[in-house]
Structure 1
């Protein structure tokens, strides 16, 4: 089968690799469409994970072969599916307490380190093998490129659910990229007034088209004061920080109102410590939290929201490349003015 192999930073090649073997509890899927995540871009520029690497974890697929122990009433050849991509152990404390998305073992799997072969999730290849328990069937009427949004939307739904947004709340979303705009769409459905903070004028305009009620330019003047001006001096009930910049994380906390919630959605790069006014957190009962990955539940909710068009991801699809143009696609996805870039493998 063909695969887009990241041999080393800045070097992709299309290679013929062996077809994966299907275990008794596994399913062979044929990749249809695979989204390019910011983590795929980071891998391309230089990853801490092992090379050679076959990335791609935001994919839709179709079942080609079913392992002998997989319940035949659950899956059929030809079913359209998406995969839960967290390789949780099911044994550790986090897994046993319904926090499988932060399982202590998931970054120790071959998806991240494989000294004797390819690391990665295999979404950038023609076929992949997935544990049957990690598959979700989606309606065949749902376009494959939309279904491929399930993983990023699952991450955002985890963020929204942990933020406890209430009707009438003021919610600030920092960052107008794909993940930020998914937060805008979801926060609006919770009944919030949404304020988008974004440095790029075109992205601010696009955010308004997608439903943001207000937009601010954090470079034009103090973004904390701009949020306070829009909220009667209180600050935001919820702040969703989708940027990786440590100084912006500080601003997110300062934007928050009394009894508010700040969620660090994005990983921080570089992961530098920040100064926090602990006395203010105490006296104003502010909660600072973070979210990583989607959960088993939010993956299911994501495909429900997409297939029922509760969340319309179509405006966020920037461009779909043929998988053989992987380097061009990655370079395009690296630009600051693009949204979701995808690879198509088959129909």
Structure 2
């Protein structure tokens, strides 16, 4: 089978590797398509702490090619459309036992991230992957592999929005109109809230409105915090989702948040510099600062339901699909700041 191997910063090698054998409780997944996340791009450029060689890719979808002897043949069938819950988790720690698998204490020490004696990575840029049946989520045969590849990022956003416990009629600010910001627009809109979006790119502001944003602003021409307060009778947003990686924007997010409101740091920061916080305002105005990361199994399942039942349509976020033979071009394209979701076909 073909794999897209990362040997180091901007060192991509298209290699032939043996097809992985499966254990009795596993399924052989034929990967059809993989979306490139900003974390994949950082692995490509070397802005990462994970080990090489690496087979990245965690936003992938495909079909069942083979079923292990202990896998229930009534539940899984060759040809089924599937995705995989991608986070390695021990199943035994406090967080796994309390349905917070995304916080498992063993995630970042696993070979998925650090493998000093072999290949690290989520393996989504391989044509075949051996998957535990317990990690498999099925889709209807009518659901496209392209739409299915949005499951993981949508699951991250569902986890984020659910943590906010939104209420009907609230004002919600989403900072950033990239893929994750726009997915926040789609999911938050289902909660009956008014959505404000701060995004400098005109095309992304327009798309945000098409997807359900009520008000948009260009933060390069207006003071975003002042604008938010103008739109909310001086209160600020009840909930702010910061989907950008800029530490300076993290400060702005808190300034946009109403008394008693919530500020969510959805994105990792690059560079991860310390951010000055007015803790006096946090105290006096009862502002809550929270973080969200990755999907839980529950939010992952909910993502499959929203996509399969066409409650959420992620297709407008697709920018371009490259064949696996053009992996370098795909990464270079994804590096461009104006692009949305870039995908690689493994067929």
Query: TM-score normalised by the shorter chain: which range applies?
Result: over 0.9
Aligned 1:202-281 pairs, distance under 5 A: 202-281=203-282
1:75 aligns with 2:76: yes
| Cross-structure match for 1:289 | 290
| Cross-structure match for 1:95 | 96
Alpha-carbon shift at residue 264 of structure 1 (Å): 0.6
Alpha-carbon shift at residue 277 of structure 1 (Å): 2.0
Alpha-carbon shift at residue 165 of structure 1 (Å): 1.3
Partner of 1:301: helix, strand, or coil? helix
Cα distance per residue 1:24-52 (max 9 Å; x no partner): 22111000111111111000000311111
Partner of 1:108: helix, strand, or coil? coil
Alpha-carbon shift at residue 310 of structure 1 (Å): 0.5
Alpha-carbon shift at residue 21 of structure 1 (Å): 1.8
Cα distance per residue 1:67-107 (max 9 Å; x no partner): 22222222111111000001011111211222111111111
Q: Distance in 2 between matches of 1:282 and 1:337?
A: 38
| Cross-structure match for 1:6 | 6
1:148 aligns with 2:141: no
Q: Distance in 2 between matches of 1:276 and 1:336?
A: 28
| Cross-structure match for 1:136 | 137
| Cross-structure match for 1:112 | 113
Partner of 1:107: helix, strand, or coil? coil
Aligned 1:27-46 pairs, distance under 5 A: 27-46=27-46
Q: Can you give the 5+ residue segments of structure 1 that lack an aligned partner in the other structure? A: none
Q: Distance in 2 between matches of 1:107 and 1:67?
A: 28
Q: Distance in 1 between matches of 2:131 and 2:234?
A: 51
- After superposing the two structures, state which structure 1 stretch, 302-311 or 275-284, moved more: 275-284
Q: Distance in 2 between matches of 1:284 and 1:243?
A: 24
| Cross-structure match for 1:170 | 171
Q: Distance in 2 between matches of 1:96 and 1:60?
A: 27
Partner of 1:115: helix, strand, or coil? coil
Q: Distance in 1 between matches of 2:167 and 2:319?
A: 31
Paired residues in the alignment total 346
Partner of 1:106: helix, strand, or coil? coil
- After superposing the two structures, state which structure 1 stretch, 270-279 or 337-346, moved more: 270-279
Aligned 1:312-323 pairs, distance under 5 A: 312-323=313-324
Structure 1 runs (4+) greater than 3 angstroms displaced? none
1:20 aligns with 2:20: yes
Cα distance per residue 1:204-232 (max 9 Å; x no partner): 12211221111111121321111101111
Q: Can you give the 5+ residue segments of structure 2 that lack an aligned partner in the other structure? A: none
Alpha-carbon shift at residue 279 of structure 1 (Å): 2.4
Partner of 1:218: helix, strand, or coil? coil
Alpha-carbon shift at residue 157 of structure 1 (Å): 0.3
Q: Distance in 2 between matches of 1:170 and 1:88?
A: 35
Q: Distance in 2 between matches of 1:333 and 1:234?
A: 38
Q: Distance in 2 between matches of 1:23 and 1:278?
A: 52
The TM-score, its normalising length taken from structure 2, stands at 0.97
Alpha-carbon shift at residue 114 of structure 1 (Å): 1.6
